[in-house]
Chains A and B, each alone.
Chain A
Amino acid sequence: MATGSSGQVTHLLRAWSDGDQQALEQLLPLVDAELRRLARSYMYRERRDHTLQPTALINEAFIRLAGAQNIRWQDRAHFFGICARLMRRVLVDYARARGFQKRGARAEKVPLHEVSIPAPELPVDIVALDHALEALAIKDERKSRVVELRFFAGLSTEETAEVLRVSPDTVKRDWRMAKLWLLRQLEEGSGE
């Protein structure tokens, strides 16, 4: 991915943050590969207990794709919002494409030469979670955004509060209630 596409990425990013959903569809494949390449090298380079920062990853991906000087975030909240939405889409697309079900994944250690990395155990069915989040958004839009920001973008309570312009307490309550609601939805809604 070279500078040739940077103008395009900048443009799409802007269009999407202005509400153009078409732009997201075009943006995704561009971001996806870069994101995964980055994530991969982070994963392998860092120690196993390293915590992946989705926002840092996405930031780096955009900088690589578009060049730092070309990306003008309105503010931190804007950037976090973009990150969360994008991360959600990337992961859901990925899980969907791979038919990656929770049930299919097992925890086992596989040798990667001398580095031992635990094989992924997926504690949640990402596609089902996405569906449940859509349902939650209809019921209570803010709670779905709290989940998106906290879970997909990895934001703290305070950062989430900043993005949503509510108090941290509200975020805490929303987060707790949203999880209960999603758990119930995932359990009971599986028959839909």
Chain B
Amino acid sequence: MSNDHERWRRIQDLCHAALERDAAQRGEFLAAACEGDEDLRREVESFLVYAGRANEFLGASTIQAVAFAMVGKPRGSLIGRQIGIYRVVEFIGAGGMGEVYRARDTKLQRDVALKVLPELFVRDQERLGRFQREAQVLALLNHPHIGTIYGFEESDDVRALVLEFVEGPTLADRITQGPIPLDEACSIADQIAAALEEAHRRGIVHRDLKPANVKLRPDGTVKVLDFGLAKATEGDDRTQSHAPTSPVGPTRDGVILGTTRYMAPEQARGRVVDKRADIWAFGCVLWEMVTGQPVFVGETVSDTISVILSSEPAWKSVPVGTPAGIRRVLRRCLEKDLVRRLHDIADARLEIHDTVAGVADVTDPLGIQAAIAREVDFQRLTDFVGMKESPAVSPDGKMVAFVSLDKGRRQLWIRLLAGGVPLQVTRDNNDHHEPRWTPDSSTLLYHSPSASRAEPGALWEIAALGGPPRCVAPALGGGDVSHDGRRIALFQSSADHIELVTMARDGSQRVCVARVSPGSTYRSPRWSPDDRFLAFQRDSLGFATYLEIVPAAGGEPREVARSAWLNGFSWLPDGFGLVYSSSQGSTLLYPPIFNLRTVGQHGRDDRQLTYGDQSFIEPDVHQSGRLLAGRIRAQSDIWKFAVGGSPAANTQGRTRVTRQTGQAQTPSVSPNGAEVAYVSDNGGHGNLWIATMDGSSLRQLTFERDPAVSVGVPMWSPAGDWIAFVVSRDWRSSIWVIRPDGSGLHELVASGWGPCWTPDGRQIIYTTGQDAPAAHLERIAVDGGTPVVVHTDASAPAIAPDGRTLYYVHGLRPELLGLRGDLQICRSSVGEGPSHEIGRIVASRVPVSARLLMLYLSPDGQWLAVPLVDGATSNVWALPTSGGPMKQLTDFGDRCNVIARSVSWSADSRFVFAAVAETETDIVLLDGLIK
């Protein structure tokens, strides 16, 4: 044996011997034992320093942890990975189906959830294939309360479902804090039921409904996740797979315990299940919300199953105050006998609605819940052609005042709700906006702009049955009379601010309630029923509209709701919430569909009241709960107009390019004139489509389905090989390009709008600076690269055929989007240089739905086409690039038409194409929508 071996023995002996002693004595012991061999002593000590850690080291828990790591994948191991177009950002959790991550869709710039399938699952090709096929079917489910499946992603070693990312806790998280208050539980249950109703209608059964699969978004929206995935992941033997005692897939092993509790008796027996299993599970979930406890619990899986099969729910644990309707829903859902169980989830919804309505009358202090009612009486109050807006119901509930046109001017009219012919109240040669009643129902307050457009205008009063009007005070827009009749609220401008003020009816005792930034426009202050608060609407250049509330005594305004567009609102009679008109959920922007929603005054319980493709705007709620609103029905198609004749002749001789029942907006004609690209809501979501001019064929170009995303304003490049368009999401707008054959889709500009092409078709120039005090122009190559600033303090670019001359709108400022001021149209050269004004447009003539003015240059460089508001309608106008007066290209007369934003020229500059929405507006009464 070598010396090494001997020495190793020695070291060990000394180590063991030293470890027999107390730590304090080891030094002394070693010094003596090593007999001056310093190397030996150092070596032994080099081991002894680890003595403290040696006990724990390689303990039983270590192998446990290692083995566990082996069993699961290392959790969160995909963070930072790029999987297809998805960049994995964050580990969310691990569920029965595998790990879930938050990831960024780098193409659409949105967050998604990636559900990564377990490896063992992925290895089974057949099962994987079956799963993918199921996922495709499930991806067709598109509903506001169902977490959407976007698709299936496969990359080298990862197979993942791409799902809608839903913020917020799960219902399971929420229930751990205890039972959920009845009104909230009803709202959640109603939304879950709505999701089930939609899925069942399509023949899809959830099969694994439970609190952990229900997400509660901060805005109060409920989303049901993992629809049908339980089936999609199961093995061959369908009947078997429902039996928890014979877990088939990897998904089973982990989830049995969680799932068993919500399993219907027939499911627990291993029978094939139908939608009634979901209805059972719905009952379990409702029970758990109301009581805070699961309805069926056992120590083990088999205990739980036996409880489900044989025991009745502990009815005594349902809280005493629970309404009979909810008890009925629970009893009918938790019926073990399939035949006697509730057959249709819609019945549960009706019962819940009734309960909510009933409860609201008696106990619900936040009347917001009462917004759900079963029967709504609908009555159309106007019956003549032309626009009608701003309905206001008189406090005595007998009359409605509204605005309609007479000889091109907005005039006030009133009508008895009981019937009869409308009576015209104002007759002077001015416009009249936003009538509001005084409490005695005798007098109307309204706003009229001043004769000089630079001045803001004033509030006036007039007797409802006619008489001379009386000027009350200068105001930026409509005001409101307090319910005690003493004060009015209005917006006024001071030197460099806008102020929300209140004053006595004679204009004295002016009090500033809030001083607000001029970076937005403000309208429609409304007193709360107790006159303690004022709500108003704020439109910002940031592509959003806000509903805000401020104490009438003064204070900071706070946001209650927001949307891309809001279009009027009213306090609910109890003052605890508001009803408002919002474009939320509309994927068309020019114009959007507006629906009525309610929201609590603290911004909670936001929910939709109306649905469909008609718009409800400017609601006004009477104390009785009767609601008046403007109802708009619109149908738009793309038309071709000659520009050579008179406006009337051009309009009369127009030809229709598209023919559909829905909406066609923002056309752009291909350079060869053979096709037109536009936005259509064909299929439910606004997307780009291309139609041939002769109508012979139609194809869909983009396939966006996210309700939060809008696609719009295609611009065909002069070379014909690209189409630029705008994508809006979360009130941000980005510019994308796609080839006409649908390939090459990518984002070109993360923040920008209004793209125009350079004549060579290689670059776009666009407006950006959404958050800056003023917009500016930038240029970027279609292949990407770094954007270059082209012009400051400018928006809405158009490039002349020479590639150098630039037309733009100067000095776009948010406040100009209000009723005042002019937009200056200028000519300059690319890369600054001197600017010349070639024309001006009154800001109030820019269509609200267009939000921003855009210039559409004719290919011959002679004309800039713009859609402008003319009274109740819109027309296409053209500004000569050489300066001079504008030329009107179309004349729709008194028809309530809207030009859906873009104007596109034919290559020979002899025709323009525009989407014209033919709209019918009426004032309608909805009785019962609000209680």
Which A residues fall within an 8 A CB radius of B? 33, 36-37, 39-41, 43-45, 51-52, 54, 90-91, 94-95, 98, 100, 104-105, 110-115, 119-124, 126, 139-140, 147, 150-152, 154, 173, 176-177, 179-184, 187
Contacts and interface: CB of A to CB of B under 8 A. Distances in A.
A185 to B, nearest CB: 10
A180 B51 contact: yes
B66 A40 contact: no
Given A114-B258, A183-B54, A140 B8 contact: yes
B68 A43 contact: yes
15 contacts: A39-B67, A43-B72, A90-B70, A95-B66, A98-B74, A100-B74, A110-B75, A111-B94, A113-B255, A113-B258, A115-B258, A120-B69, A121-B65, A122-B65, A180-B47
B57 interface: yes
B61 interface: yes
A124 B59 CA distance: 10
Given A105-B74, A177-B12, A182-B57, A115 B257 contact: yes
B340 interface: no
A91 B70 CA distance: 7
Max chain A Cβ within 10 angstroms of own Cβ: one of B48, B210, B255: B255
A51 B60 contact: yes
Given A113-B96, A182-B57, A176 B63 contact: no
Contacts of A98: 73-74, 77
Given A111-B93, A112-B254, A177-B16, A100 B62 contact: no
Given A52-B63, A113-B95, A40 B74 contact: no
A114 B58 contact: no
A179 B15 CA distance: 12
A112 B93 CA distance: 7
Contacts of B120: 33, 36-37
Given A43-B71, A113-B254, A115-B254, 12 more contacts: A95-B66, A100-B74, A112-B95, A113-B210, A114-B172, A120-B65, A120-B74, A151-B63, A176-B16, A177-B12, A179-B58, A180-B15
Given A52-B63, A123-B62, A113 B259 contact: yes
A150 to B, nearest CB: 7
B212 interface: yes
B75 A119 contact: yes
B624 interface: no
Interface of B: 8, 12, 15-16, 19, 46-48, 50-51, 53-54, 56-58, 60-77, 91, 93-96, 120, 172, 210, 212, 250, 253-255, 257-259
Contacts of A33: 120
B47 A181 contact: yes
B94 A176 contact: no
Nearest to A50: B64
A41 B12 CA distance: 42
Given A112-B95, A113-B255, A173 B70 contact: no
Nearest to A41: B253
* Nearest 3 CB-CB pairings of A with B: A113-B258, A183-B50, A120-B69
Contact of A104 (B50, B74, B254, B257): B74
B71 A179 contact: no
Contact of B62 (A105, A151, A184): A151
B15 A120 contact: no
A125 to B, nearest CB: 10
A37 B71 CA distance: 7
Contacts of B69: 94-95, 100, 105, 120, 122
Contacts of A113: 95-96, 210, 212, 254-255, 257-259
A39 B71 contact: yes
Contacts of A119: 75-76
Contacts of B8: 139-140
A123 B53 CA distance: 12
A103 to B, nearest CB: 12
Contacts of B95: 111-113
Contact of A91 (B66, B73, B77, B254): B66
B721 to A, nearest CB: 44
- A interface secondary structure, majority: helix
B695 to A, nearest CB: 54
A14 to B, nearest CB: 26
B215 to A, nearest CB: 13
Contact of B253 (A40, A94, A177): A40
A184 B46 CA distance: 7
Contacts of B46: 184
A105 B210 CA distance: 31
B70 A147 contact: no
B75 A176 contact: no
Given A45-B253, A100-B74, A154 B60 contact: yes
A113 B64 CA distance: 22
B100 to A, nearest CB: 10
Contact of A36 (B16, B70, B77): B70
Nearest to B67: A52
Max chain B Cβ within 10 angstroms of own Cβ: one of A114, A126, A139: A114
Contacts of A177: 12, 15-16, 47
A51 B68 CA distance: 11
Contacts of B257: 113-115
Nearest to A109: B93
Contact of B66 (A37, A112, A126, A179): A126
A110 B212 CA distance: 13
B584 to A, nearest CB: 31
B72 A120 contact: yes
Contact of B50 (A111, A115, A140, A180): A180
A33 B122 CA distance: 13
B58 A150 contact: yes
B208 to A, nearest CB: 10
B58 A147 contact: yes
Nearest to B56: A123
A176 B259 CA distance: 47
A95 B65 CA distance: 12
A173 B255 contact: no
A124 B54 CA distance: 12
Contact of B65 (A51, A123, A152): A123
A87 B15 CA distance: 30
B16 A110 contact: no
A68 to B, nearest CB: 22
Nearest to A120: B69
Nearest to A49: B64
Contacts of A140: 8
Contacts of A182: 57-58
A127 to B, nearest CB: 11
B53 to A, nearest CB: 6
Nearest to B64: A52
Contacts of A112: 93-96, 254
Contacts of A124: 57-58, 62, 66
Contacts of B255: 113
Contacts of B76: 119
A146 to B, nearest CB: 11
